Each structure stands twice: as C-alpha cells, then as structure tokens.
Amino acid sequence: MRRALFLSVLLTALVRAQESSLFGSKAAAPQEPAAGAVIGSSPAAAAPDDEDETSVVVSPFRAISRPEPKETRAFSLAKLNRPLAYETTRELQRLHSAYVQQHVLETGGASHVRAPGPLTTLEYVVQQDLGDGRFLVKANWLASSDGLLPAGTDAYAVLMPEKPKAAGDTGQAFVTNVGQVAVRFTPTFAPLVGRRLTLRREAFIECQAIPGNAAGMQQFMDLIRSGAELSVVTAEKFPCKTCGGLGFTREAQKGKLEDRRNPCTVCESGKVTVRIETKFTP
C-alpha cells in the first residue's frame, strides 16, 4: 500500500519524454513546468526493511534545482535587424543555441518541451533490467553546458532508454538528468549478485535533441510566429556597480598616498553574472 502511494505521487511530479516513468508506469503528457517547479520534489519514501522483499523500489533522493532568473526581457521577431534594435540575427542564433541546450523534442517530434533537468551525452553498459523500462547501467557522461550536472566516470546510474535493452548491451544516448534516486534491489551481476542493496545514483531519461542547424532555427521561428510561448534562460555578464568594473575597491590609508585595493566581494574580475529569461514574441 505504501509503495502504491508514493508511486502515484511521483508520477504526477515527473515531466517526461517517454511512455513510462522512472518511478513506475506511464507519466502525464509532456508539459512545460511552471516557473520554480522542481522535478521529483516529493520526499523519498522509506525503503522496506523486510529482507524477503525482492521487488525493485525506486524513490527520489535529490531533486533537480535550477537558479531562478532575476530579469525578464522580450525578443520580438518583428524587430529583427531593425536600426537600434538588439534583435539581430547574431543574437537570435546565440539565444537559439542556448535554447537547444535547455529543451528537447516531444515524443514524435511534434513540439519542443523543456527538459526536466540538465542535458548531456551518456555512454553506458547495461548491468541489470530493473523493470518498467528502467535499467541499471555503468556509464560515463559529460558535464552539462549549464554547469548543473558534473561529469561522471565509470559510475552506476539509472537509465530509461527509448528501446528495451539486455544485460551487457552498450550504447550512447542523449539524455536529460532528473536528479538522484535511491534504488533498492537485488543485483544479478558480479560481484554483487544475490545481495539486497540500496544505491543512490543519478537518473537519466533518453530523449531526442532539437536540431541546432538552420532548419532547426527556422522551425523554432515558425513555432514563435504560430503563437508558441517559448523562452530561454541565459547567464549574462555585466560590469559590477560596486567596484565600477575594476574587480577591487579602494580604501584610503592614513599617511600614505596610495589607496589600499581590496578585492570586490560582489563580483568576479569586475563582472557580475545575471540570469535573464528571454521570452520570444512574433
């Protein structure tokens, strides 16, 4: 009964690009998460203590957290390349590149969907089938471009691939990270075979990347002109107002001609990083 309860809570929290959820059966239709939403934010359910329990239990352990943007601005396609407008082709290409790194294609390629977490490329070897389309894999992955997911080397992870796999299969996949999960199961691979374990590992869902070429950007612009509400979050650097962009502040010293230079505590090398959400309009 307890297992059924936390599975139902998890299914409503996870945004997916697959037919089934990392934590159980089929998830809801892909939707853009609300601002500030945290994927898999439900508290982790306690794993059963019964040594005779042989089923696989997957529960969230560490959810994905994204920094909130401090400013919002609009990018109007109608102003593209007009005099004194910041809406230039070069700026559009930069924003589209950032957009591609934060979104994936919906199943079937019908529309663009924000990914639950950081996107990366995963190289894996399947260790065990955990059921419900979930697999324990030994994998290497690259750090995500947004810096939220560090790189991993020869680490166990939970993967939900697009197609069924068998133990020993190898492959490479474009994936989105949905946080860290606790997996309680009985391994069937050496040297852990037969032991009841609980592992805390990163969880990934295989997805389809948005093309970053000219055709992909044209499709992106067509979606905006057709009324799609699309936005992208970027980290912009601006001169620090506290130190005037110098990276240090001056402090007068009694009896000396030269001021003391103190490193600025607000910025790094005279620049401050501000996360800006850019919303696209026709």
pLDDT digits over 216-272, tens only? 889 899 989 998 889 998 888 888 888 888 888 888 888 888 888 888 888 878 888
Exposure class string for 221-256: b at 16+ Cβ within 10 A, else e:
beebeeeeebbbbbeeeeebeebeeeebbeeeeeee
For residue 93, the model assigns a pLDDT of 93
Tell me the percentage of the chain whose pLDDT exceeds 90. 29
For residue 40, the model assigns a pLDDT of 37
pLDDT digits over 43-52, tens only? 444 444 444 5
pLDDT digits over 202-224, tens only? 999 999 888 888 888 898 999 89
Residues of the chain with pLDDT under 70: 1-53, 108-110
